[in-house]
Amino acid sequence: SDLQKQEERGELLQPLIFVLLVLCSILLYFKVSLMDPGFVKPEEEEGEDKGQGVVIPQLPDDIKLRRCGYCLVKQPMRAKHCQQCQHCVRRYDHHCPWLENCVGERNHPLFIVYLSVQLVVLLWGGHVAWSGLYFEQSREWLQHNIFLLVSFLLILIFTIVVLLLLVSHLYLISCNTTTWEFMSHHRISYLRHSELENPFDQGIILNLWRFFC
Protein backbone atom coordinates (compact mmCIF):
# COMPACT_ATOMS: atom_id res chain seq x y z
CA SER A 1 0.00 0.00 0.00
CA ASP A 2 0.95 3.67 -0.25
CA LEU A 3 1.37 3.86 3.52
CA GLN A 4 3.87 0.99 3.52
CA LYS A 5 5.82 2.59 0.65
CA GLN A 6 5.97 5.92 2.50
CA GLU A 7 7.18 4.10 5.61
CA GLU A 8 9.90 2.32 3.64
CA ARG A 9 11.08 5.64 2.19
CA GLY A 10 11.16 7.20 5.66
CA GLU A 11 8.52 9.79 4.82
CA LEU A 12 6.52 9.02 7.97
CA LEU A 13 9.44 9.55 10.34
CA GLN A 14 9.35 13.35 10.31
CA PRO A 15 5.58 13.65 11.00
CA LEU A 16 5.97 11.08 13.79
CA ILE A 17 8.81 13.04 15.40
CA PHE A 18 6.79 16.26 15.08
CA VAL A 19 3.76 14.68 16.79
CA LEU A 20 5.99 13.33 19.57
CA LEU A 21 7.48 16.80 20.10
CA VAL A 22 3.99 18.31 20.32
CA LEU A 23 2.95 15.65 22.87
CA CYS A 24 6.16 16.26 24.83
CA SER A 25 5.42 20.00 24.82
CA ILE A 26 1.88 19.39 26.13
CA LEU A 27 3.11 17.05 28.88
CA LEU A 28 5.79 19.55 29.93
CA TYR A 29 3.18 22.30 30.04
CA PHE A 30 0.98 20.37 32.46
CA LYS A 31 3.99 19.21 34.49
CA VAL A 32 5.32 22.76 34.98
CA SER A 33 1.88 24.26 35.61
CA LEU A 34 0.73 21.64 38.13
CA MET A 35 3.90 20.98 40.11
CA ASP A 36 4.99 22.70 43.30
CA PRO A 37 7.32 25.55 42.21
CA GLY A 38 9.00 25.58 45.62
CA PHE A 39 6.42 26.78 48.12
CA VAL A 40 7.83 27.67 51.55
CA LYS A 41 6.08 25.62 54.23
CA PRO A 42 5.90 26.63 57.92
CA GLU A 43 7.38 23.32 59.09
CA GLU A 44 10.53 24.02 57.04
CA GLU A 45 11.47 27.17 58.98
CA GLU A 46 13.98 25.41 61.22
CA GLY A 47 17.43 25.52 59.76
CA GLU A 48 16.65 28.17 57.16
CA ASP A 49 19.46 30.36 58.45
CA LYS A 50 22.04 27.63 57.79
CA GLY A 51 24.11 28.18 54.69
CA GLN A 52 22.81 31.65 53.90
CA GLY A 53 26.09 33.31 54.86
CA VAL A 54 27.95 30.96 52.53
CA VAL A 55 25.75 32.00 49.61
CA ILE A 56 26.39 35.73 50.03
CA PRO A 57 29.13 36.47 52.56
CA GLN A 58 29.14 40.16 51.58
CA LEU A 59 25.78 40.87 53.25
CA PRO A 60 25.80 43.31 56.16
CA ASP A 61 25.01 41.80 59.56
CA ASP A 62 21.87 43.91 59.99
CA ILE A 63 20.09 42.21 57.07
CA LYS A 64 18.14 39.31 58.51
CA LEU A 65 15.54 36.95 57.14
CA ARG A 66 12.08 38.40 57.64
CA ARG A 67 8.63 36.94 58.07
CA CYS A 68 6.19 37.27 55.21
CA GLY A 69 3.43 39.77 55.95
CA TYR A 70 0.87 37.59 54.17
CA CYS A 71 1.47 33.93 55.07
CA LEU A 72 3.71 34.66 58.13
CA VAL A 73 6.40 32.12 57.24
CA LYS A 74 10.07 32.97 57.60
CA GLN A 75 11.22 33.73 54.08
CA PRO A 76 14.45 32.08 52.90
CA MET A 77 16.89 34.16 50.87
CA ARG A 78 15.59 34.88 47.34
CA ALA A 79 12.02 33.86 48.22
CA LYS A 80 9.02 36.08 47.51
CA HIS A 81 5.31 35.94 48.27
CA CYS A 82 3.09 35.47 45.23
CA GLN A 83 -0.30 37.17 45.50
CA GLN A 84 -1.87 34.88 42.88
CA CYS A 85 -0.66 31.59 44.43
CA GLN A 86 -0.99 32.88 48.03
CA HIS A 87 2.36 31.29 48.96
CA CYS A 88 5.98 32.28 49.37
CA VAL A 89 8.07 30.69 46.61
CA ARG A 90 11.75 29.74 46.89
CA ARG A 91 14.02 31.42 44.33
CA TYR A 92 10.99 33.18 42.95
CA ASP A 93 11.34 34.13 39.28
CA HIS A 94 7.85 35.24 38.19
CA HIS A 95 4.20 34.22 38.11
CA CYS A 96 3.38 32.98 34.62
CA PRO A 97 -0.23 33.74 33.56
CA TRP A 98 -0.04 31.16 30.75
CA LEU A 99 0.80 28.42 33.25
CA GLU A 100 -1.35 29.79 36.08
CA ASN A 101 1.58 28.93 38.34
CA CYS A 102 4.76 30.46 39.68
CA VAL A 103 8.15 29.73 38.19
CA GLY A 104 10.46 29.06 41.11
CA GLU A 105 13.23 26.89 42.46
CA ARG A 106 11.70 23.50 41.62
CA ASN A 107 10.09 24.04 38.20
CA HIS A 108 12.36 26.69 36.66
CA PRO A 109 14.65 24.16 34.88
CA LEU A 110 11.62 22.32 33.46
CA PHE A 111 10.19 25.67 32.38
CA ILE A 112 13.34 26.26 30.30
CA VAL A 113 13.05 22.77 28.78
CA TYR A 114 9.39 23.47 27.98
CA LEU A 115 10.28 26.74 26.22
CA SER A 116 13.01 24.98 24.23
CA VAL A 117 10.71 22.20 23.03
CA GLN A 118 7.99 24.73 22.27
CA LEU A 119 10.43 26.78 20.19
CA VAL A 120 11.44 23.70 18.16
CA VAL A 121 7.76 22.87 17.52
CA LEU A 122 7.00 26.45 16.42
CA LEU A 123 10.03 26.64 14.12
CA TRP A 124 9.12 23.30 12.56
CA GLY A 125 5.46 24.30 12.16
CA GLY A 126 6.48 27.64 10.67
CA HIS A 127 8.73 25.87 8.16
CA VAL A 128 5.90 23.54 7.13
CA ALA A 129 3.44 26.43 6.76
CA TRP A 130 5.94 28.49 4.72
CA SER A 131 6.79 25.57 2.42
CA GLY A 132 3.08 25.17 1.62
CA LEU A 133 2.74 28.77 0.45
CA TYR A 134 3.19 29.82 -3.16
CA PHE A 135 2.60 33.49 -3.85
CA GLU A 136 0.42 34.87 -6.63
CA GLN A 137 -1.18 38.30 -6.89
CA SER A 138 -4.75 37.18 -7.36
CA ARG A 139 -7.96 37.06 -5.35
CA GLU A 140 -8.33 33.33 -5.94
CA TRP A 141 -4.88 32.70 -4.44
CA LEU A 142 -5.78 34.64 -1.31
CA GLN A 143 -9.06 32.73 -0.90
CA HIS A 144 -7.29 29.38 -1.16
CA ASN A 145 -4.30 30.27 1.05
CA ILE A 146 -5.76 32.64 3.66
CA PHE A 147 -5.87 29.97 6.38
CA LEU A 148 -2.28 28.89 5.73
CA LEU A 149 -1.10 32.51 5.60
CA VAL A 150 -2.81 33.42 8.90
CA SER A 151 -1.41 30.26 10.49
CA PHE A 152 2.11 31.20 9.41
CA LEU A 153 1.77 34.75 10.77
CA LEU A 154 0.46 33.46 14.13
CA ILE A 155 3.28 30.92 14.34
CA LEU A 156 5.78 33.68 13.53
CA ILE A 157 4.45 35.90 16.33
CA PHE A 158 4.51 33.09 18.90
CA THR A 159 7.98 32.05 17.76
CA ILE A 160 9.35 35.57 18.36
CA VAL A 161 7.72 35.71 21.80
CA VAL A 162 9.03 32.29 22.88
CA LEU A 163 12.49 33.00 21.46
CA LEU A 164 12.80 36.31 23.32
CA LEU A 165 11.52 34.70 26.52
CA LEU A 166 13.96 31.79 26.26
CA VAL A 167 16.96 34.01 25.46
CA SER A 168 16.17 36.40 28.33
CA HIS A 169 15.83 33.52 30.81
CA LEU A 170 19.06 31.89 29.65
CA TYR A 171 20.85 35.22 30.09
CA LEU A 172 19.49 35.63 33.63
CA ILE A 173 20.39 32.02 34.48
CA SER A 174 23.94 32.56 33.22
CA CYS A 175 24.16 35.50 35.65
CA ASN A 176 22.50 33.51 38.47
CA THR A 177 19.72 36.01 38.93
CA THR A 178 15.94 35.86 38.57
CA THR A 179 13.43 37.98 36.71
CA TRP A 180 12.17 39.38 40.00
CA GLU A 181 15.68 40.26 41.22
CA PHE A 182 16.57 41.79 37.86
CA MET A 183 13.45 43.96 37.73
CA SER A 184 13.35 44.90 41.44
CA HIS A 185 17.04 45.10 42.32
CA HIS A 186 16.62 48.50 43.98
CA ARG A 187 13.81 47.27 46.26
CA ILE A 188 15.40 44.03 47.55
CA SER A 189 17.35 44.58 50.76
CA TYR A 190 19.93 41.80 50.32
CA LEU A 191 20.80 43.16 46.86
CA ARG A 192 20.50 46.87 47.59
CA HIS A 193 22.91 46.68 50.54
CA SER A 194 25.32 44.15 49.06
CA GLU A 195 28.86 45.18 48.17
CA LEU A 196 28.51 43.36 44.85
CA GLU A 197 25.99 44.16 42.13
CA ASN A 198 25.06 40.47 41.97
CA PRO A 199 26.40 38.52 44.98
CA PHE A 200 25.04 35.22 43.63
CA ASP A 201 27.08 35.28 40.40
CA GLN A 202 29.76 32.56 40.39
CA GLY A 203 30.67 32.65 36.71
CA ILE A 204 28.69 31.52 33.67
CA ILE A 205 29.82 27.87 33.69
CA LEU A 206 29.17 27.31 37.39
CA ASN A 207 25.87 29.22 37.25
CA LEU A 208 24.58 27.04 34.42
CA TRP A 209 25.89 23.88 36.08
CA ARG A 210 24.21 24.64 39.41
CA PHE A 211 20.93 25.54 37.72
CA PHE A 212 20.56 22.56 35.40
CA CYS A 213 22.51 19.92 37.32
> What is the rounded CA–CA span in Å between residue 108 and residue 112?
6
- SS3 of residue 80 by DSSP: strand
**Does residue 151 lie in a domain region?**
yes
The pLDDT assigned to 4 comes to 56
The pLDDT assigned to 187 comes to 87
Residue partners of 186: CB distance under 8 A and separation at least 6: 192
**Does residue 94 lie in a domain region?**
no
The pLDDT assigned to 137 comes to 61
**Does residue 65 lie in a domain region?**
no
What does the chain come to in residues? 213
138: left (phi over 0), alpha (psi -120 to 50) or beta: beta
**Does residue 152 lie in a domain region?**
yes
Residue at 190: amino acid letter = Y
**Does residue 167 lie in a domain region?**
yes
**Does residue 12 lie in a domain region?**
yes
Q: Is 24 a catalytic residue?
A: no
Domain of 149?
Answer: 2-39+100-212
Annotated active-site residue in 24, 96, 175, 213:
96
- What torsion, rounded to 10 degrees, do the Cα atoms 128, 115, 179, 36 define? 150
**Does residue 55 lie in a domain region?**
no
**Does residue 111 lie in a domain region?**
yes
The pLDDT assigned to 52 comes to 45
- SS3 of residue 133 by DSSP: coil
* Selection from 103, 148, 110, 118 nearest residue 130 by Cα: 148
DSSP state of 44: G
Q: What is the pLDDT along the chain (213 residues), one digit of tens a residue?
A: 554 555 556 567 888 899 999 999 999 999 999 999 999 988 665 555 444 444 444 455 555 667 888 888 888 889 999 999 999 999 999 999 999 999 999 999 999 999 999 999 999 999 888 877 766 666 676 677 778 888 889 999 999 999 999 999 999 999 999 999 999 988 888 888 777 888 899 999 999 999 998
Q: Are 74 and 176 in contact (CB under 8 A)?
A: no
Residue 180 neighbours by CB distance under 10 Å: 22
Instruction: Please count the structural domains in the chain.
Output: 1
